[in-house]
Amino acid sequence: MADVRYEIVREIGVISENDKGWRKELNLVSWNDRAPKYDLRDWSSGREKMSKGLTLTKEEARRLKELLDEVDL
């Protein structure tokens, strides 16, 4: 499997943390030197491991925000 390179361009925030120290984070991440995307995934403490996640373009993140604003949370 090829190496995956990433750079966390901006840390936006931690959504939750489990009892094993893994944190669900929203960040702006550049994957393999591509344009940064909004990235939601779990990271181990120290960020040495990561789970599968979800990446969104700026337009997709805006639409998600609009949809969440419509929901009664």
36-43, long-range: CB < 8 A, 24+ apart:
36/9, 36/10, 38/12, 40/15, 42/18
Give the range of the structural domain holding residue 18, as residue numbers without chain letter: 6-70
* Whole-number pLDDT of residue 1: 60
Residue 1 lies in a domain: no
For the chain, the domain total comes to 1
pLDDT of residue 24: 98
CATH of the domain at 10: 2.30.31.70
Rounded distance between C-alpha atoms, residue 13 and residue 62, angstroms? 17
Cα gap 22→52, rounded to integer Å: 13
- Cα separation, 72 vs 44, whole angstroms: 31
Average pLDDT per consecutive 10 residues, the chain (73 residues; last block may be shorter): 88 97 98 97 94 98 97 91
pLDDT of residue 4: 86
Please list the residues that pair with 31 across neighbouring strands.
Answer: 6
